[in-house]
């Protein structure tokens, strides 16, 4: 037996231990909160260093050239013309200002937001002889105006009384009307380029990308809901339906196509450039508008991506006709994918891919535009980093889903790299070559619209408290409103739903409708009956589960893990037993 004195110390320690643990936890939480505030303030300074330099040296033109402290009108083919050579009716579209509107709100600067809204209301015009890229103008300008209008008219009264009278919506509608001539094609697929004053020019190219004609539904759909005029949403929806009808028997799409003939030009595709936002907008349109049609498209497309593009944590490119791999490469735009998977609920897969992107970021200090997976080396020419936001975006989503402090550390690494390698006296410059960190004289507008925004939200998400937004592919927030959702008849039964027993009642539910995958993450009372099929499920090639190679095995429906072929020739989770 212990001496009486020793017993006393043991009892005292037992009594004090819970208090010590609670104190330690409290101190740890306080340290993390202080760290997040410090990083938030650092991002706040980054944003205003970029924004203030734009306003001083480039406004009202499109984008800032931070090294020379000048400007470029990059949105149209007027880009790089000197001021004195611009048409008399062209004064710039103030692209970076439009892109910054929602960021100003998120960072709490309602005064600057109001000033920007007033200036745009009085000065911005789209009646100019300028040939613009439809996709870029849609996601940047139309999306920026629609989002800012919704922020200006929400319940927070952030603008002074009588200041705002729907001027941004009027501008958005004017721009939307100027988009419509691009859709006058035999297929309904829009031209990639349109002149804001004269419509589609003679001998205009008929080549466009999958993203270019399949990523218009959020902005144009929102414009229709706000104005009550269905023609914008109808044009975008017709194009999306036509594009989906062109998929292969494997539910894969190519990268480029002809809008006149409806024929594919480039049959190889992946989840990166030219295709990325197509997948993103299918699912986000389902959330924003509640259409079952969008869900069906996305679910089929997602399964096809998992089956034909995924290789462990990486995603290669493949031929849409055969599913055979074509290019084994990572592109920086692919870094959005883990963020989309978080919305789907496929957290394990999202985390796995995200960590590979972080590995490449840390290897070079930033994320190069293209990285050859089969050679584990940079692409010989595409070695640049134009301040892209996709990795910060996915980091934000994963932290929201997991609250794992590791993602805060990733965000800190991104912030430190941006300040170390890209910050200059006149703003933030793109990197021309990640091996030498040679800079390029360009500060893209998406640096303020997305990169700074997602980093700020990673460290301070107070803007999102008790609110429900989806972010467009350019980072512009759109509120999820029940009034925008399709009204379904009571007898309608969604095809992707499964019966779950809760007590004596059966409820209709699905992994995707709850945005959770795998379904094992449901609360136990929700899944006490039949298991729900996950959105990530890829069936085995054969119904009897026999196989010769791992390629004939799918992705497990209960936990989203890749199945493998055993020595006995059966698919299963053998690697996890």
- Known catalytic residues? 136, 276, 369, 390
Instruction: Check: CB of residue 266 under 8 Å from CB of residue 254.
Output: yes
Residue ranges of E strands in 344-466: 370-372, 377-378, 423-424, 427-428, 430-433, 438-440
Q: Are strands 370-372 and 427-428 parallel, antiparallel or unpaired?
A: unpaired
CA–CA gap between residue 369 and residue 199 (Å, rounded)? 33
Q: What are 195's strand-pairing partners?
A: 131, 199
Specify the 3-state DSSP secondary structure of 507.
strand
DSSP H/E element including 356: helix 347-364
**Structure-token pair, residue 199:** 């419509």
CA–CA gap between residue 523 and residue 248 (Å, rounded)? 38
The residue to which tokens 């870094």 are assigned: 335
The residue to which tokens 């709850």 are assigned: 514
Q: Which residues contact 336 (CB under 8 A, 6 or more apart)?
A: 276, 280, 390, 393, 394, 473
Specify the 3-state DSSP secondary structure of 474.
coil
**Structure-token pair, residue 333:** 């735009």
Residue 570's CB: how many other CB atoms inside 10 A?
A: 17
**Structure-token pair, residue 523:** 């609360």
User: CA nearest 386: which of 341, 434, 347?
Assistant: 434
**Structure-token pair, residue 350:** 């999202």
CA–CA gap between residue 313 and residue 335 (Å, rounded)? 12
CA–CA gap between residue 25 and residue 17 (Å, rounded)? 12
Q: What are phi and psi of 132, to 5 degrees?
A: -120, 155
Query: What are the residue ranges of helices labelled H in 262-327?
Result: 276-289, 292-308
**Structure-token pair, residue 133:** 């890229």
DSSP state of 273: T
């Amino acid at each position: 037996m212990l001496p009486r004195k020793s017993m006393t110390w043991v009892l005292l320690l037992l009594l004090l231990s819970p208090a010590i643990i609670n104190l330690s936890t409290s101190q740890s939480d306080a340290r993390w909160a202080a760290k997040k505030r410090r990083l938030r303030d650092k991002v706040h300074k980054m944003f205003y260093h970029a924004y203030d330099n734009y306003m001083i040296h480039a406004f009202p033109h499109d984008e800032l050239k931070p090294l020379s402290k000048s400007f470029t009108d990059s949105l149209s083919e007027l880009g790089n013309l000197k001021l004195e050579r611009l048409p008399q009716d062209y004064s710039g579209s103030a692209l970076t200002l439009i892109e910054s509107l929602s960021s100003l709100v998120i960072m709490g600067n309602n005064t600057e937001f109001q000033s920007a809204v007033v200036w745009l209301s009085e000065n911005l015009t789209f009646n100019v002889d300028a040939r613009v890229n439809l996709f870029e103008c849609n996601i940047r300008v139309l999306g920026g105006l629609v989002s800012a209008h919704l922020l200006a008219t929400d319940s927070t009264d952030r603008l002074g009384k009588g200041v705002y009278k729907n001027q941004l919506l009027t501008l958005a509608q004017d721009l939307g009307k100027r988009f419509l001539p691009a859709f006058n094609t035999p297929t309904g697929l829009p031209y990639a380029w349109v002149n804001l004053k004269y419509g589609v020019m003679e001998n205009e190219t008929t080549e466009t990308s999958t993203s270019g004609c399949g990523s218009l539904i959020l902005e144009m759909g929102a414009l229709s809901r706000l104005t009550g005029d269905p023609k914008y949403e109808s044009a975008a929806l017709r194009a999306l339906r036509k594009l989906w009808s062109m998929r292969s028997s494997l539910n894969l799409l190519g990268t480029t196509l002809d809008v006149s003939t409806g024929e594919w030009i480039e049959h190889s595709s992946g989840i990166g450039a030219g295709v990325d936002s197509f997948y993103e907008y299918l699912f986000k349109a389902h959330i924003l508008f509640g259409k079952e049609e969008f869900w069906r498209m996305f679910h089929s497309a997602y399964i096809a991506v998992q089956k034909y593009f995924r290789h462990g944590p990486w995603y290669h490119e493949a031929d849409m006709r055969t599913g055979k791999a074509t290019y084994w490469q990572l592109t920086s735009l692919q870094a959005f994918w883990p963020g989309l998977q978080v919305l789907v609920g496929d957290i394990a897969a999202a985390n796995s891919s995200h960590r590979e992107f972080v590995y490449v970021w840390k290897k070079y200090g930033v994320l190069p535009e293209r990285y050859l997976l089969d050679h584990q080396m940079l692409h010989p020419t595409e070695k640049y980093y134009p301040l892209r936001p996709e990795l910060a975006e996915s980091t934000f989503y994963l932290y929201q889903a997991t609250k794992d402090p590791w993602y805060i550390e990733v965000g800190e690494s991104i912030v430190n790299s941006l300040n170390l390698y890209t910050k200059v006296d006149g703003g933030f410059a793109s990197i021309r070559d990640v091996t030498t960190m040679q800079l390029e004289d360009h500060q893209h507008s998406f640096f303020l619209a997305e990169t700074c925004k997602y980093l700020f939200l990673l460290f301070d998400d107070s803007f999102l408290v008790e609110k429900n937004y989806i972010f467009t592919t350019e980072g512009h927030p759109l509120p999820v409103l029940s009034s925008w959702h399709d009204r379904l008849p009571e007898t309608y039964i969604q095809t992707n739903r499964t019966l779950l027993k809760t007590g004596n009642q059966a409820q209709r539910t699905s992994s995707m409708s709850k945005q959770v995958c795998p379904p094992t993450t449901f609360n136990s009372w929700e899944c006490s009956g039949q298991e729900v099929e996950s959105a990530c499920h890829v069936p085995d090639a054969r119904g009897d589960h026999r196989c010769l190679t791992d390629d004939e095995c799918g992705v497990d429906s209960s936990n989203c893990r890749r199945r493998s072929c055993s020595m006995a020739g059966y698919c299963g989770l053998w690697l996890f037993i």
